[in-house]
Structure 1
Amino acid sequence: MGERIRQHDWSSSGLGPPETWPLRLQGYTDMILRMPTPAIIFWGPEQTQIYNAGYAIIMGPRHPRYLGASYRECWPDTYPTIYPWMRRVLDEGEVIQVDKTLIPVTRHGFTEEAYFTFSFVPLRDDDGRINGFLQPVNEVTEEVIAERRLATLRAIAPRATTHAEVMQETAAAFRGNAQDLPFAVLYLWNDAVHTLDLAVHHGLEMIPEPLRTAGEQVFASGEASKVEDFEALLGRSHTGPWPEPTRSAMILPLRRSPAHAAGGVLVLGISPRLHFDEKYQAFFEAVARELAAVIEQQRAQQALRESEALLRTTFASLAEGISLQDADGTIRFSNTAAERLLGLTADQLSGRTSEDSRWHAIREDGSPFPGEEHPPMVALRTGQPQLGKVLGVRRSDGSLVWLAINALPLPGREDGSPGGVVSSFFDITERKAAEARIRELNATLERRVAERTRELEEANRELEAFSYSVSHDLRAPLRHITGFVQLLDKRARSVLDAKSQEFLKTIAEAAQRGGQLVDDLLDFSRMSRAEMRLASVSLGSLVEEVRRELLPDVEGRRVTWKVEALPAVHGDAALLRLVFRNLLSNAIKYTRTKPEAVIEIFAHALPEETEVVVRDNGVGFEMEFVGKLFGVFQRLHSVEEFEGTGIGLANVRRVVHRHGGRVWAEGVPGQGATFHFTLPLSSR
């Protein structure tokens, strides 16, 4: 987009070539070109347009023709709306924020309903005068329309219980969204006379007979149909909330899903200011499904009222406890299972309410469960189902039974309040006992885990003390061996043949390796016992110090160091020095077979920690052995190939873990190895 601005002919705009623009305008332009969101600058008395790639999308077919054009020339349809805000910015220097504003936009070949959230920010020229404004823009059309459509779906008869109420609330929901539904006509199938009856209509004063005929065709086929020339079907022009006439409509079968039979058809007008895309069609389909579900639900409730006598017979045969209470909460019916679970006869249950003082109910925590809070009473009071509620009932024989209860309010009253409540409940006493046993087992397991953890920690301490003691005890004999070998070499070198001298050298080197191994063991043992001295540590300085210490190891070799800027971290400087010394000395050691060694050190900032990486181009390793890398005395190469004791990386892991970090490695044979470790941003 920046190149297009530089190559654009700006002569007609009065601005001239970009390189001659005021310095501030050049800076503003560079700023919007870097912005990830749509933004446009209007500059000078004509409000000449300069915009970024994001705004080019909003421009649509206007781009790039209107780059450098005036606001009025490019946006004649929105200019009257924008002009008052523009003057407040240019004249008074006011910053204005506008949210979800309807601004009709001509694109896709027609005037489209569009919503924008945008700001007006005054811009000053090199003399300090306000000479334009910046407009960061965010189109929120999809968000506004989605919210509006969701509100319509929620408004379709949410509380209706009778057929008349469903029709009234449906009509109100359609009227509340004339933007998406310029008109709506609902036909319901009359099974008695096999025809479609008009049930609800909105936005049309007269309903032509050809519309019913088209609806019958859709009802018979079960497939939705789009009417492209609705004016011809209607016989006249229809105008909804917009100046443009409604030219097309959809006729949809009224059903909950393709698997259900249609209960009618729904005719919905298509807005002339919206593109009829998949989302728009899906909204129409959702309206039809929701309305079908509401009508079916209302009919089901009516059928429930009419079949109460049949349900009584059915309830009596169920294994679950069933009770029926009237609008006052008085028990009018209970089945045999309910009498058995509650320990009462039918006569004893009949006439009781949930608030009867003879009930002794408790909650799961053992506290009293007041009658007015029992699920049936809550369902009556709120009109909402109460599902899966648990309470305990103390029966007359003193036993306690735990019940899971579902309470469903029944329609019936003219004011819409429940006419009663039906409750089903079953015995979960055994389940509760099993849950208690599981909790007890979990508690026992937690205690055992805690005991084993303490035992393991004690064993680790004893093992570390043992390692420290053994390492100390081994030092003295190794020093003796080294000392006596040196004495023997001085006194007897002249009388020893070459083979004997080689034996002495082997003994001395073995003793030195043993001494080094003991020293490494002592360091490893100290790692977990040494007190950490936490402070801010510059990793860059630490790496440079370690590199200087290792200079003798790279003498005579070609080694390329690639060290990026490293951050400061919170840690123990001495322990972190040991980490870098081990990793860098390993990198030097395992690259000595390469003509040129390349060692990289860099870091990444993560949300809660810093990741440090050390990479080399050395001999590498097979990833199947990566689990052995950080173990004590674990080596992937022989001593003859590469010297070492196999403790260095174990020390690295222990130091990093003591800092609360993580450590891992990757390798490719012949290509090198990469070691990662992390350090928290603050001490743990």
Structure 2
Amino acid sequence: MTSIRPAPAFLQGGGAMGERIRNFDWGSHPLGPPEDWPPALRMAMSLCLNSSFPTAIYWGPQFHLLYNDTWSEIPAEKHPAVLGLPAREAWSDIWDIVGPQFRHVFETGEGMALYEQMLPMVRGGRRTETWWNYSLTAIRDAEHGIAGIFNQGNDITAVVHARRARQAEIERWRELFRQAPAAVALLRGPNHVFEFANEAYLRLVAQRDVTGKPVAEAVPEVRAQGFLELLDGVYRSGEPYLGTGVKVKLQRRPDGPEEDCVLDFVYQPVHNAAGEVDAVLVLASDVTDRARAEAALRLSNWQLGEERARLAALIEAEQRARLGLRRLNETLEAHVNSRTAELTRALAAQNAVADRLRATFETDLIFQGFLDTHGTLLDANPASLAAIHRTREQVVGRPFWETEWFSATPGMGERMRAAVEAAARGETVRTHLRVNLPDGPRSFLFSVRPVVNARREIVGLVPEALEMEDPAAKAAAPATGLAGSQ
């Protein structure tokens, strides 16, 4: 009776990959039976199998691949076929990038740590942009020669994409604020460094170059007026601060003296993805004219009282004074009300812009979306998603021409790709489409146009489609009822 030889102690444990390695036919492999593996490989293999961090070993001049459970997700559909393969075969899609790195470590013994390395891996049959943090460390044998490479790393693709999306969203809002009539600035970090200031804000501070500077350096006259303490309090507490009719001294002209002005302002904390305050949004309105009018009104009322007391015996003169002062009062009040209404409308306009943009995007009368300049879908409205029975998460991040709006219509993907490329060059493309959607063929008036910023740079593309009456569908539909009228 033949006894089964137990696996070596260094291969014990390791979950599913430990069992797979123990059951592998190493007798016909260049590495040979595990019992004959050199001590350095045994020690490295034991560390690899029992590590909770994604870990792989590339052994020998051919870099034969061994790895643990957590690393098995990295090769995706190539797992487990890559076990034991030379690295050149396992990573043929990215060998032009990682091959020189492996050879450098193997030939010099110098380890490497790479952060945010883009590796265009083939996944699901197509080349995909992936991002990684990983390290390569030489494994030395008993004679201190280099025998293999110890590799650990993790996938940060989602982090990179999320950062890109957040930056794109920030740029869209930055452009919106740039055009706002009220003064807007974004102060980043505990030192309140100017990251952004729109034209209205720059006019408030004499067109000073504030970007990249702390408030205390960019607008030094506010240091002694308590505004830095207010900003510190908002940053620490996360609670907004509202200032109404606040007197402040500002240098309103280059090289000019400080001038008295009156502001209405809001310090609004801005939270990052972790829920922490990392910036303060400043929204301010110069209400100096309104404050002066109110002061003039108060003075006028006082003078009116004095006049009444002094001219008490002269009824006719008193009546004439009252009439004149009442008219003055009405004029001043009308001016104050007009100015107040103007400022209120300016503040409301800023919020209305964002509301109108979102309301327009949420319409169910047309299909709308937003692409980056490479044609990757960044957003789509509910009406367009409903037409293909997909959620936003299922289509965002994909090339527009590969989505389900066009994939069931022969030749339509190439046509859409050409339209997107034309829009990315600055053209507006308009055409009629008939596409096969999950609920049947439908006809649309379609356009895709570029979106430009204030510097006339193309920052995105907007595809839109308005459904048209389909003659073929009309002929097949009943003559009456809702179906016939669609």
TM-score (structure 1 length as normaliser): 0.27
Larger radius of gyration: 1
Q: Give the strand-richer structure, 1 or 2.
A: 2
Q: Could you say which structure has the greater relative contact order, defined with CA pairs below 8 angstroms and 6 or more residues apart? A: 2
